Every structure is written in structure tokens, then in C-alpha cells.
Structure 1
């Protein structure tokens, strides 16, 4: 599993990975963007909704929410 910081925020590209980046970013949760966005909908979403930072200019996900997906209680 990829090392995650104790707390903070992640961009979607860090969660889903980016093989075209230099160096490539491995996926923490290996799903495509369409699956990710579909998983945010409905009464019981599988994936968390983003937090907008900087007047809505950036979308980030809390590390704690990603850990909860990887290690369900």
C-alpha cells in the first residue's frame, strides 16, 4: 500500500494515480474517474465528496476519508 500522511488533503490524481506524470504516481485506489464520480452519488456513497479549498479553485480529499475506504471498520 502507498504511504499516506497522517492527516491532510490529497488531489484526485494522487488517489487514482497518474501514469503520465514524471515520475508516475501509483494509484492508491485503482478505479477510473467515471467509477469514482459514480461512487460519490446516491444515498450511500462509496467514495467521499471533495472539499473545495481556495474559493472553489481546488478539489481535495481528506486523508482520513481515504484511510476509511482502505481500512473499513
Structure 2
């Protein structure tokens, strides 16, 4: 798995991956963009932070917690 910083922010392509990037970005959470936004809307995924009018990101701490939650659900 990709090494995440202790604190900071991640943009959506860093979370769901971007196969067209050079080099390709592997997904942390392998879902589509529309599934991600539906999950944000329903509360399954963390709420974003607006860094500017056109920049949306998620706190690394929230993404770490989500990954742990999903791993626990998968193991059960």
C-alpha cells in the first residue's frame, strides 16, 4: 500500500487512483468517482475540506480511519 503522510490532505485522484497519470496512481479506495461522491453524500465516506474555491481535499487522518474501518468490515 502507498505510504501516507501523518498529516495533510489528499485530492480525489490520490484516493480513488488515476490510471492515466504518469506514473499511474494506484487507488487507496478502489471505487469510481461517482461512487465516492455518493458515499460522501450518504456519510459512508468522510466529508471533504474546501482548500479554495476550486480545490477540494480530504484529511489524511480521515482517509486512514476509513481504510481501517473498511479493513475491519472486510475481516468480519
Gaps of 5+ in 1: none
1:57 to partner: Cα distance: 2.1
Moved over 2 A (4+): none
Higher helix share: 2
What is the aligned-residue RMSD (CA, Å)?
1.3
How many angstroms apart in 1 are the aligned matches of 2:6 and 2:37? 25
Corresponding pairs, count: 70
Structure 2 gaps of 5+ residues are none
Match of 1:53 among 43, 51, 54: 51
SS in 2 for 1:40: helix
TM-score (norm 2): 0.85
Q: CA deviation at 1:49?
A: 1.7
